[in-house]
Every structure is written in C-alpha cells, then in structure tokens.
Structure 1
Amino acid sequence: MKAIQMREPGTPDVLALVELARPEIQSATEVLVRLEAAGVNPVDTKIRSRGTLIPDTLTAVLGCDGAGVIEAVGADVTRFQPGDAVWFCHGGLGGPHGNDAEYIVVDETIAQPKPAALEFAEAAAAPLVLITAWEALFDRAGLREGQRVLIHGGAGGVGHVAIQLARLAGARVATTISSAEKASFVHELGAEYAINYREESLRDVLADWTQGEGVDVALDTVGPAVFRETIPLMAVYGDLVSILDPGPELDLKEIRNRNLRISLELMLTPQLKGLSAALAHQGEILRRCGEYIDAGELRIHVAERFPLAQAAAAHRRLEAGGTLGKLVLTMN
C-alpha cells in the first residue's frame, strides 16, 4: 500500500511517499479499513518536527484521524461488516499504524459509523477536534445552558466545532478571530461576538458582554500567553481549559482569588495510556456528534484537500497558520 512515512524528525521534507505492506488483522475484534481520507492536525506537525509519542519508535506513519470503508473483519466482530463506512481517531503517534496511508487496522470499538451527511473528507477531518472540544467543554468545564463561553481561535479546527457544540448546549459564545473573513465564518457558526484581537480590546468587549462579571467558561486553543491573559477575564468560580501546555508562568494568586478551576485537555491520553473505558467514551462522543451532523445541527468545515502524495505541502500549509477549519489528505 502507499503511505506517507516519517523516517526522522524534521521539516516537512522528511515525509516520503513509500510502499509498505498492507496491515493485517491480528485480533478477532479488529477491522481492516480502506482509507478514503485522513485529517491533518497540529499534533501531526509536532510529532513530525519533534519525534514520535510512542517510546522506542523513530519512523512513523502519521495521521490520527481517518475515514474509509471496512474491507475485512475479525472473527468476533459484531458491529460492522465489509462495505460499512466508518470514521475514527486512532493511530499516528509512532510506528507504522497511522492514517496517512491507504489502509489501517483498528479495533471495532474504536470505529463509529460515518455520518451519512458527511463526505469521507469531511468525516476524516472531524474526530480529533470533535472529541477535543467535547471533552474540554463538557467533561472538563461542565458547560451548562445559559453560561457565557469564550473560545480562543474560533475559526480553527477545534474552535469552529467548539462554537457549535457550545451553542447546541444552550450557551452564549464569544470568540477571538484575526480577520473580517473569520468574523463572518464564526458568526455563521453561532458566535455572538467575534473579537478581532488585533484591533479590539478583549477585556473591554468581554466586560461589556458580561456586565463586568467575566466569562463562565474559557477554552484556550492558542497557548501560554493567551492562557495567562484569560485568567483575569474569568468570572469567579469559572472554568478555564487549555488544550495546550499553559507554561510555568501562571498567576496562581489570581487563579486562587477567583476560585478558578483549571483543566488541561489532551484527547490522545486514552490511546497513549491504553484506557479502554475512556476510548469507549470517545466513541460515544463521536456517535452523538454524528447524530447532530445528520440532523443538520453541526457541520465540519474543510478548507483544503491535498492528495496523499502532497502530505508535506499540507504540513506546510497548516504550519503557516490562518486556516479556516481543517485540512485533509485524500487517497483517491
């Protein structure tokens, strides 16, 4: 099969199109998936530049997100049969098992039926960001109806689905953006305020929106500086969640004075730690999101599609920044 292989950490130039043996079913509960598309996520570029997350592996087929058609099933598989279309987040952290390839083997508990409303490219773009946003907003922050939510980077991969999930929960959403195009995009998704951080005072806008009380929930998708800047924007007893390392320089006094609950979200932990119950929970998140998608209440925005052979170009585009939604590799 054709696959994109990283032989050592480095620039996008370390990604090479190679021929690898097609993976085979090893367990009675596994399924072989012929991949139609794979999502491209920031974690892919980080692994490519820094090294794999799986110990004692140097080479890797990257790609955590996949969507395709089941070609074969193990003897004990009960949920699927050949010909079923599926989507999932699994693999891509080190070694040969990633979605930047024509085939992958996953356990049947990992896969979910692909939403009928999504093309394969859209489905492949979705799992990691949907699970990340869901876990951050609901599992970490306990988001409730009527709360005011600040989502940083609302036009990005995680941000654009987080806006929609928050609105579906009955929350009110403000988000940061950097252009008029992105402002229009996030308003379409349901954001009440689109705050251009290059031109407006985030503090002033939020003070007006919340009558000076601060936001109940904030989701940081950007990094340490934004995380620190968000602390004084929070309401007392608020929930501040980051999907990135917030760094060591935190104002713990202000966090304590506001009685903030600080949470960190890494949706890859269940895969890295082999946590079967948590992986099953993530599958349930995908199932519920699939229902929203098929009901027309949740959408996935794919900004650009690249052929598998152009994986390096997709990495360069993602690292350049400014993308609306997601990037995808397509196999055909």
Structure 2
Amino acid sequence: MDALPETMTAVAIREPGGPEVLTVVERPVPRPGPGEVLIRVAAAGVNRPDVFQRRGGYPPPAGASDLPGLEVAGEIAALGAGVEGHAVGDAVTALVSGGGYAAFALAPAGSSLPVPAGLSLVEAAALPETVFTVWHNVFERGRLEAGETLLVHGGSSGIGTTAIQIAAARGATVLATAGSAEKCAACVRLGASRAIDYRREDFVAATLEATGGKGADVILDMVGGDYVPRNIAAAAFDGRIVQIAFLGGSRIEADFQRLMVKRLTWTGSTLRARPDAFKARLAAEVRRHVWPLVESGQVRPVIDRTYPLADAAEAHRRMESSGHVGKIVLTI
C-alpha cells in the first residue's frame, strides 16, 4: 500500500445556502484514531440530511467532520489502534457522521461493513444510510413482521426504495406513496403491491381499500405536517407509526384520542448523533439480516444518477428537484 498523501480533494460548505455554496477544497488527509479506519473513498452517497446541513439546519455532531457526507465505499487505507476484523486493502462500505464528500474519510470500524458480493463500490456507497435507517426504524422500532402491511411514504426516495425491497423480501405486504405515475410504477417494480399517487389519490382511503378496511400495521413517514392525523386514520389497530423526518413540518395539530382508541404506537428516531457503540450493534444486525438479501439479489441499491465529486452542487440540485428515483451518488 502506497504511503498516504498529505492532502486530499474534498467538498466543503462555504456558508449556509443553496447548492452553489458547495466548494471544492484541499484538506489534510485525516489519520485514524483508536477504533477507526481510514477509507480511500471511491463513492459517497448523497442524502437529504446533507441538504439540510448545507442550508445550515443540521450541524454535524461534536467531533464529527464539518464536511458533508454520511456514507462511503472504498478501500481501507489505514487502521487505527485496536482495530480488529479489518485489513488494509479491504473493500468496505461505511456509515459516517460526516466527511464523506472527500477522497479519504474516517469511519468507526464497527460501522464499516464488507462490500456485499456482486456489488460495485458505487452501489455499495448507496447502502449504509438507507439500510441502517430502514432496519432500525421499520424492523426494530416498528417491529414489522411477515404477513403484516407496511405503508411507506416517499416510496421512490432512497429510504423508500430500500424499505420496499427489504420489507417485501421478508414477507410483508408493502404499500407506497409517490408523486407521479412513473414513480408509482418504480415502486411496484421494486415489490410494492400497491403504489398510491398522492397527488391524485387520498392515501388514507387507498390504504384502507387495499387492506380490506384494516389499515397498515406499520407506517414509515418522512413527511409529518398534515400527514400525522392522516397516518393515524390509515393505521390498523395496534399499528406503529415511525417518524424519520418532517419534510412537511414538525409542528402539527392532530386528535390523539384516535391514537388511544386504536392503541397506536407513534415513535421516531435520528441516527447521525447516536454513539458509535449503537451504530456498531446496528451494523451487526444489518450484516446478519440484510446483507444476505443483497447478495442473493432480493435487495439491490437503486441508483438514480452519479456525479463526479466536483459536481456535488449538481447532485444537490437533483435531490432538491425531487425528480430522482433511488439514490444519488458522488464518485471520487
């Protein structure tokens, strides 16, 4: 393995603002501390939290890189003290708390996983943020079981395309909402039994119709706002509503008596600021339960477009247009 360079190319946020504030810079190559690996990045996923950070609304947690980017794939270039189970040269994909938009990125060893067999590094870079989020929220917090019905809002997003595939592969019936006929068709191709065009249909009525009046056992929502009371209406008795974002606003008005009557659980979570030990535990569960589905071809990352690292601003414009289906990935 060649000696590490002193500097690297990265994309930084010059100041809060639009995509134009993403700036190509030279930064020192970081060195791994205890329990960390240094990854020579081949590709980095672009996620909605990157956009929020760029706008100034989602600062990195204490100690994390100020560079955007929450998931990467590449080869391990160096190991920190005490790291076991990894070797220099291993192809890995990793969940990081920041720093992904760069030629090198630090990652906790515990949340770095081997690239699943049969996947390119670009495909692997599209996995960690969505797979970790879906596994924890749908299957751990939402407790989705085979034979139950999952309603996924934003079914054509990176999170949505991942949730549809994993839930269907594990024996659930999946309903999904999306904003066009083309996006609805993509959701059905991925395994949704019914896709609901929210611009033309009432998702509550469609969900109740599709379930014979029962409603969805688990609802994965990233919208919030006026979706909250409608989710309560669309949920089955003893259903679980899992909130992972509030694109429609976090201040809501709802009649929670219906939540009591239906014995619903309304929960939610964020991932970025959770401690490394939590993410390592989650990574182990993902490797056990999801990686076999990826390697068998039952779950595959859906790549919308790739952009060179220097074109990160264009990648953000693509995400903010909401025209994408699946993941947007930067290549280094």
TM-score where L is the length of structure 2: 0.91
Q: 1:65 aligns with which of 42, 67, 71?
A: 71
Q: Aligned with 1:167: secondary structure?
A: helix
Tell me how far apart the structure 1 counterparts of residues 265 and 62 of structure 2 sit (CA, whole Å).
36
**Residues 135, 286 of structure 2: 8 Å contact kept:** no
1:70-96, CA deviations, whole angstroms, 9 ceiling, x for partnerless residues? 11223432211111100011121xxxx
Moved over 3 A (4+): 54-59
- Identical aligned residues as a percent: 37
Aligned residues: 321
Structure 2 CA distance for partners of 1:197 and 1:283, relative to 1, 3 Å: same
1:90 maps to 96
Cα shift at 1:24:
1.1
1:328 maps to 329
Q: Aligned with 1:87: secondary structure?
A: strand
1:42-80, CA deviations, whole angstroms, 9 ceiling, x for partnerless residues? 000001102452468999210001101011223432211
Structure 2 CA distance for partners of 1:76 and 1:56, relative to 1, 3 Å: closer
1:232 maps to 233
Tell me how far apart the structure 2 counterparts of residues 244 and 322 of structure 1 sit (CA, whole Å).
19
Cα shift at 1:244:
1.3
1:282 paired to 2:282 = yes
**Residues 33, 81 of structure 2: 8 Å contact kept:** no
Structure 2 CA distance for partners of 1:250 and 1:154, relative to 1, 3 Å: same
1:265 maps to 269
Tell me how far apart the structure 2 counterparts of residues 45 and 75 of structure 1 sit (CA, whole Å).
33
1:202-237, CA deviations, whole angstroms, 9 ceiling, x for partnerless residues? 233222222212211111122322233211111111
1:44 maps to 50
Q: 2:29 aligns with which of 15, 22, 28?
A: 22
Cα shift at 1:315:
0.9
Q: How does 1:72-151 map to 2 (within 5 A)?
A: 72-92=78-98, 98-151=99-152
**Residues 8, 59 of structure 1: 8 Å contact kept:** no
2:14 maps to 7
Tell me how far apart the structure 2 counterparts of residues 148 and 194 of structure 1 sit (CA, whole Å).
13
Cα shift at 1:181:
1.6
Unaligned runs of 5+ in 1: 93-97
**Residues 7, 59 of structure 1: 8 Å contact kept:** no
2:3 maps to none
Tell me how far apart the structure 1 counterparts of residues 201 and 33 of structure 2 sit (CA, whole Å).
56
Structure 2 CA distance for partners of 1:119 and 1:172, relative to 1, 3 Å: same
Q: Aligned with 1:268: secondary structure?
A: coil
> What's the Cα RMSD here?
1.9
**Residues 6, 59 of structure 1: 8 Å contact kept:** no
**Residues 49, 58 of structure 2: 8 Å contact kept:** no
Q: Aligned with 2:110: secondary structure?
A: coil
1:2 alignment partner AA: T
Bigger Cα displacement from structure 2, 233-242 vs 196-205: 196-205
Structure 2 CA distance for partners of 1:152 and 1:58, relative to 1, 3 Å: closer
2:258 maps to 254
1:157 paired to 2:158 = yes
2:5 maps to none
Cα shift at 1:184:
2.0
Tell me how far apart the structure 2 counterparts of residues 247 and 164 of structure 1 sit (CA, whole Å).
31
**Residues 159, 221 of structure 1: 8 Å contact kept:** no
Tell me how far apart the structure 1 counterparts of residues 260 and 170 of structure 2 sit (CA, whole Å).
28
Unaligned runs of 5+ in 2: 1-7
**Residues 301, 325 of structure 1: 8 Å contact kept:** yes
TM-score where L is the length of structure 1: 0.91
**Residues 183, 325 of structure 2: 8 Å contact kept:** yes
Tell me how far apart the structure 1 counterparts of residues 330 and 23 of structure 2 sit (CA, whole Å).
14
**Residues 9, 48 of structure 1: 8 Å contact kept:** yes
